[in-house]
Amino acid sequence: MTILARLEHWQRAGAISAAQHDAIAALVRKDRFPVFLELNALLYAGVLAVAGGVAWTVAMYAERMGDAAIVAALTCAFVATLAYCFAHARPYANRPIEHEGIAFDYVLYLGCLLLATDIGYVQSRMHPFQLQWDHSLLLAATVFFALAYRFDNRFVLALALSSLAGWFGVRLGGFSLLSASALRAYALSYGALVAGAGIGLPRAGVKPHFLETYLHVAVNVLFLALLSGVGEPGSPGTFYLLAVLGLSAVAIVQGVRFNRFAFVVYGVLYGYAALSGRLLRDVRSFSAGLSYFVVSGTVVVVTLVVLARRFGRDA
C-alpha cells in the first residue's frame, strides 16, 4: 500500500483530519509550496548583514581612509539607492502599493541603513550639532518617516519609530534617565504619542494599513513601561498592576474583535507576567514558585493554543 493510500485510509478512519491529509499528501507528492515569507526574511537579513559590514568597514578604516572619503562614499551610496527607488516607484497613494522590481524594498531598506551609518559617523567625528547630538536622531527619524510614507514601506516606518524613540528619550529626560521612574515616564509618553499618531493618521485617510505597525510598537512600549512599576511597594505597585490588567483586557478584546491574534498574545502574556510578579513577590519557597509556574504556565499555553485554533478557523 502506498503512502497516499494509507493517508486516504487514515482520513476515512478519522485518524487524521482533511487539512492534515492535504498537508501531508502535498509533501508526499512533492508539490510546490510558497516560501515567500522565508525568502523575504532571508533577504532582509542579507540587507542587515551588508549594512553591518559597511559599518564595520567604516569603524576599522576610518583613520586610514579619512572622514571626507567615508562621508562621500556613504552619501553617494544613499543617493544611488534613493535614485533607484524614485526611478522604479509608483505614484504616492494612501492604499498599499506594489512597486516595480523585486529588489525595490530591499534597496530602500539598505539605503536607510546606510543613511543611519552616515549620520552617526558625521555626528561622532564632526559634531555638527555640538552637545545637541540627539538632533541627529530626529533628522534620521524625519527622513525615515518621509521615505516610509512615500514608498509605502513598513520596515522603514519601524526604523523611523525606533529613531524617534531614541530622540524622544534623550529630549525628554536629558541625561537623567537613570531612574526607573524617569524611564517609565518617557516610555509612557512615547507609547501614548505613537498610539495617538497611529490612530489619528488612518482616521484622516493617510495610509490606514500602517495602523498595525504603530500599534505593535505602542502596545509593547506601554506594556513594558507599566510592567516595570508592578514591583513597586504600596499603592503605586497596585496602580500599575491594575493598569497592566486593564490594557491587557483592551488588547485581548480588540484583538479578538479585529482578528489580530498578536494583540491577544500581548494581552495574555503581559497580564500573566504582571500577576505572576505580584503574586510571587513575597514567596520565598523555590518549590512553591516552581509549582506555580508549571501549573499557571500550562494553563496559559493551553489557552493560547485554543485561541490560535479559533483564529485559524476564522481566518
pLDDT of amino acid 109: 92
Q: What is the per-residue pLDDT across 55-71, written as a single tens digit (0 to 9) for each?
A: 888 888 777 888 888 89
Q: How far is CA 263 from CA 185, 203, 258, 290, in A?
A: 23, 20, 10, 27
Phi, psi dihedrals of residue 36, rounded to the nearest 5°: -60, -45
For 34, residues 6+ apart whose C-beta sits below 8 A from its C-beta are none
pLDDT of amino acid 179: 61
Average pLDDT over residues 4-9: 73
Lowest mean pLDDT among 82-91, 132-141, 259-268: 132-141
Average pLDDT over residues 11-18: 76
Angle between helices 3-13 and 18-28 (to 10 degrees): 180
Q: What is the per-residue pLDDT across 236-285, written as a single tens digit (0 to 9) for each?
A: 888 999 999 999 999 999 998 888 889 999 999 999 999 988 888 777 77
**Domains of the chain by residue range:** 52-175
